[in-house]
Amino acid sequence: MTSTPGATARYPIRTATAETMEAFAAPLNLAFAEMPDPGDEERRLWEPERIIAAFDGEQPVATAGAITFRLTVPGGEAGAAGVTLVGVSPSHRRRGILRSMMRHQLDDVRARGEPLAILWASEGAIYQRFGYGLATLSGSFELARDRAAFARPAPAEGSVRLVDLEAAMEVFPAVYDRVRVETPGMVARSEAWWRWGTLHDTDHARSANGMKFFAVYEAGGSVEGTAVYRVKPDWDDRGPNGRLVAQEVIATTPRATRDLWSWLLSADLVGVVRGVRAPVPHPLQLLLAEPRRLGFTVGDALWLRVVDIPAALAARTYGRPGTLVLEIRDPFCPWNAGRWRLVAGEDERGVVQPTTAEPDLALDASDLAATYLGTFRFSDLALVGRVAEITAGSLRRADALFAAERAPWCSTMF
């Protein structure tokens, strides 16, 4: 097992309690050179028993935490540790402290029986060292409202109304869950997460980005879509030039997708509409007459770590019956290393067992993570030399087995 005994001995790792968790997380502000938002209620979502800190004497100098999630995977869901609150004080970097915390954390994730760990990375290079692979993509765009004409305009089939926080708490979760259960990469949200994570607003956030609004789309007597967005007013010598930022748009039907975006793009006193943490591909790329005007940018989103290969592969379904032998390299979690036979049956479920048979493909654990939700194919990784095809035709078989019916997406930042 890869370890850093020197760092662990010199900077021992301790687990927080409800009383000490904020002190344990204090190195994060130093690591990111940020002042905390006094109105932020994110601490309500922390799990003290999953927050650790490395200490230099009695001073916490690094921190890492995790949130217990259920992650949608193709055809099902799996337990996943949502890694967060990770940072090392500038005074203690490059001493092996982060590696020792990642070692401690992944051992704990495994002991809890969670087959996966997921995170949003400040810098992807950091976490690839520990076996994380790029598992979902995220899009962003900025569109001038006067270039937002649709290619096929149509009258709205439903209506949009604004609701307050309490009404949003009643309506939004059910709509989100209808999309979540069929979209790999999305996570289940608790009531606390909805109130204090997704819907909560603060004076600091309003000052920086404008007031937060909650919109509900209704058609045919039912709610088919929701939107969380902000509007930042602005005026110049030529009149209103505000900015609308769509933070999360959830639609359960095609008409909800079309009508919600049409409504957002027609907001009064707004010159520019931005989208963040958006799905890839984005529906506006097909709805707009001039999709190039989006300036659509794709970046990394969820990074995923396969902690328990047999459990992770058994948690999802497969696109066709078949057998595949994978040779996995995993120096940081050596219990994953070796050859694994995946047998997918007619019921689309998979059974995974260790084997001594000749492998079909050879790859790192981080490469398996990149294919796990269906964002990348094995053949994509092979094109850049990250997967070796040992048995002829196995790349094509693997692509067919691991294909996802819906493009992965995660809109929940943690």
Please write the tens of the pLDDT for every residue from 207-236.
Answer: 999 999 999 999 999 999 999 999 999 999
Phi, psi of 385 (to 5 degrees): 80, 20
Gap between the Cα atoms of 132 and 364, Å rounded:
10
Gap between the Cα atoms of 309 and 365, Å rounded:
9
What single letter denotes the amino acid at residue 369? A
Q: What is the pLDDT of residue 270?
A: 97
- The sign of the dihedral angle between the CA atoms of 305, 173, 250, 320 is positive
Annotated catalytic residue within 69, 127, 214, 296: 127
Q: What is the pLDDT of residue 5?
A: 63
Dihedral of the CA atoms 24, 124, 403, 334 (nearest 10)?
Answer: -70
Q: What is the pLDDT of residue 1?
A: 41
- The alpha carbons of the chain give a radius of gyration, in whole angstroms, of 23
Q: Which string of DSSP letters, residue by residue, matches 83-113?
A: EEEEEE-GGG-SSSHHHHHHHHHHHHHHHTT
CATH of domain 308-402: 3.30.1050.10
Residues in the chain, pLDDT under 50: 1-3
User: Contact at 8 Å (CB) between 363 and 387?
Assistant: yes
CATH of domain 5-114: 3.40.630.30
Three-class DSSP category at 162:
strand
User: Contact at 8 Å (CB) between 54 and 69?
Assistant: no
Is 229 a residue of the active site?
A: no
SS3 for 252-288 is: CCHHHHHHHHHHHCCCCCEEEEEEEEECCCCCHHHHE
Q: What is the pLDDT of residue 110?
A: 98
Q: What is the pLDDT of residue 340?
A: 98
Is 332 a residue of the active site?
A: no
Q: Residues 139-299: name the CATH superfamily.
A: Gcn5-related N-acetyltransferase (GNAT) (3.40.630.30)
What single letter denotes the amino acid at residue 28? L
Domain with CATH 3.30.1050.10 in the chain: 308-402
Gap between the Cα atoms of 195 and 213, Å rounded:
14
Domain with CATH 3.40.630.30 in the chain: 5-114, 139-299
Q: What is the pLDDT of residue 7?
A: 81
Three-class DSSP category at 5:
helix
Sheet holding 13-15, edge to edge: 13-15, 52-56, 59-73, 76-88, 116-120, 302-306, 133-134
Q: Which of 119, 42, 116 is nearest to 79 (CA)?
A: 116
- Tell me the longest C-alpha to C-alpha distance in the chain: 74
